[in-house]
Amino acid sequence: MVKLDFSNVLTELIGSAGIKLSEIEDHAKRAVELIRAKPYRELDFIEIYNQDLKDVKEIGKIGRDYEYFLLLGIGGSALGPKVILEALSPFHNLKKKPKVFIYDNVDPVTLKNILEIVDLKRTLVNVISKSGSTSETLSSFLILWKLIRTRRLDVKDHFVFTTDPEKGNLRAIAEEYGIRTLSIPKNIGGRYSVLTPVGLLLAETIGIPSEEILEGAKDISEKAFEEGFAKNPMAILASSLYLLDFLKGRRILVFLPYCDRLKTLSEWFSQLWAESLGKDGKGTTPYPSLGTTDQHSQLQIWMEGPEDKVILFLTVEKHGVQEEIPEEFYYLEGLRFLGGHTLEELMHTEQLATEMALCMHKKPNLKLSIGEIEPRTIGGIFQFLQVTTAMAGLLYGINPFNQPGVELGKRLTYGAMGKRGFETEADEVKRYLKKERFII
């Protein structure tokens, strides 16, 4: 269902910039051994397809009766739902209901704009935070909570929490006020959570059967533990990317889907890859991109900039719409060759031409492809990339499920905001603000 073409990282095709097939094979074998040993309980995400969808479907059905669906979440709690929305229901808010807003920041102007558009009486607010203590999400939750109560609406009718099954502030509030909740399974962290109620409630609310998304994930999951060269494309991809970094200094991974609906998948993947692998001084930097658009933006630096990139294409075989370019202005040389082709052909041709140009300049690149965009393939590509990322982490010898590097910033924020127990950090902030600055 997800195919991988890894020809263009092989020495056979791109010479000394590439890596040997045998090396990839060895590392792929090792990646499978590592994942089979299951060193982290968070690898549970691989079995996530095995999930009771009753609550998600029930609340999703309720959600469909609202005019507006407002999701509050940040990072993994927002990027996955965004992909589901934009990939499976493009231009949603101009065409369908409930209108969906995903508020994933603390920008006051954005919130004001959303609040001007939505009618709270007909709005369902989905607050997503595993820990129940994400400052950004909880801040907007508090604002919405007060607004709903001030208007004398029943909080039970306007909130759904997606959170830890037992702990945290949201769980406590839900119990006190009888708010509907959905659980994010214990061992699943934020960036691996799109196939839990985090992403699936939104799917159901906009009419996408969540079981189809999970079926696609299942197809992939079943291959994750497969040994043997030809059976486990995730192991091949993880190994190729690891080796291109380790042996060839390819430290930037450009993720390049050729399909507008997958633009946010680039952002979701970049979060997954960066936060999973960027630790202990290791990890390649994922770069979110989009074809053909970024051929007019980034291609120059891929072709002639520093030799530090790998391009990972993602193509969609059938876009599902035939839009033919008409044969007009036949007398103008610059237009004639376009007539009679379809936009889909042009899309495919430009991807191929870019791939070829990269090869001719000995730049390693790989290509993923899916047949068409539907719930099943979107579930599949999510799981494919999640498994690949986890495998890469194991090859690097790091824990792909924690994020120790974000703690310091959080503590300093707590200090500056006056949270109890963070007085040392508050002093640190004061000292920093007193330093002499160079500002012009």
Number of residues that bind a copy of itself (CB under 8 A): 153
* DSSP reduced 3-state for 128: strand
Sequence letter at residue 68? Y
Residue 88, C-beta contacts closer than 8 angstroms, at least 6 positions apart: 203, 206, 208, 261, 373, 374, 375, 378
Query: Quick one: which of 188, 201, 256 has its CA closest to 47?
Result: 188
The minimum distance between CB 53 and a copy of itself, in angstroms, equals 27
Q: What are the start-end ranges of the E strands in 277-322? A: 285-288, 309-316
DSSP code string of 338-394: TTT-BHHHHHHHHHHHHHHHHHHTT--EEEEEES--SHHHHHHHHHHHHHHHHHHHH
| Cβ–Cβ under 8 Å, residues 257 and 266 | yes
Residue of 186, 297, 427, 430 that binds a copy of itself (CB under 8 A) = 297
Kindly write out the interface string for residues 209-248 of this chain, putting x where it contacts a copy of itself by CB under 8 A and - elsewhere: --------------------xxxxx--x------------
Q: Considering only residues 250-279, where is the footprint of a copy of itself by CB under 8 A?
A: 251-252, 259-261, 267, 270-271, 274-275, 277-279
User: In the set 305, 423, 427, 430, which binds a copy of itself (CB under 8 A)?
Assistant: 305
Q: Name the strand (E) or helix (H) holding 21.
A: helix 21-36
User: 42: number of CA atoms within 13 Å, CB side?
Assistant: 18
In the list 121, 361, 427, 430, the residue contacting a copy of itself (rule: CB under 8 A) is 361
Which residues does residue 10 pair with via DSSP β-bridges, in sequence order?
19
**Sole binder of a copy of itself in the list 123, 162, 210, 298 (CB under 8 A):** 298
Determine if 426 is a binding residue for a copy of itself (CB under 8 A). Answer: no
Per rule CB under 8 A, is residue 50 in the interface with a copy of itself?
no
- The residue within the footprint of a copy of itself, chosen from 67, 119, 227, 328 (CB under 8 A), is 328
Residues annotated as catalytic are 275, 296, 410
Nearest residue (CB) to a copy of itself, 51 versus 169: 169
Helices (H), 89-209: 92-95, 108-117, 135-150, 155-158, 169-177, 197-205
Residues 375-404 that bind a copy of itself (CB under 8 A): 403-404
Q: Which of residues 143-162 bind a copy of itself (CB under 8 A)?
A: 143, 145-146
Nearer to a copy of itself, 58 or 280 (CB): 280
Least separation, in Å, of the C-beta of 70 and a copy of itself? 14
- Smallest gap from Cβ 18 to a copy of itself, in A, equals 11
What does the chain come to in residues? 440
Q: How far apart are CA 309 and CA 285, in angstroms?
A: 9
Contact with a copy of itself (CB under 8 A) among 45, 66, 242, 302 = 302
127 binding a copy of itself? (CB under 8 A): no
Segment 76-105, which members bind a copy of itself (CB under 8 A)?
Answer: 76, 78-79, 90-91, 93-95, 104-105
